[in-house]
Amino acid sequence: MAKKGDKRRLIGMVSEETGERIYYTSKNFQNTTDKLSLRKYSPRLRKHVIFTETKKSLGRNEVKK
């Protein structure tokens, strides 16, 4: 379980080419405010592509305005 004062949050990494979400990582939101983008391996394409940060939750627990 996460600690109460923990600054790190879980984020999902989505592929720019295929749109699939394979990788998950944690990120400190106070130190890194911009979106994270990493070059990782995509097993579907069998090559390295850019994965960008997205929210871990798929919109299920979000409050809509």
Average pLDDT over every residue of 3-19: 84
* 6/15: higher pLDDT: 15
pLDDT of residue 36: 92
pLDDT, one tens digit per residue, over 15-41 is 999 888 889 988 888 898 899 999 999
Q: What is the pTM of this model?
A: 0.73
Average pLDDT over every residue of 40-58: 88
Which H, E and C letters describe the chain, residue by residue? Answer: CCCCCCCEEEEEEEECCCCCEEEEEEEECCCCCCCCEEEEEECCCCEEEEEEEEECCCCCCCCCC
**Domains of the chain listed by start with CATH number:** 8-55 (2.20.28.120)
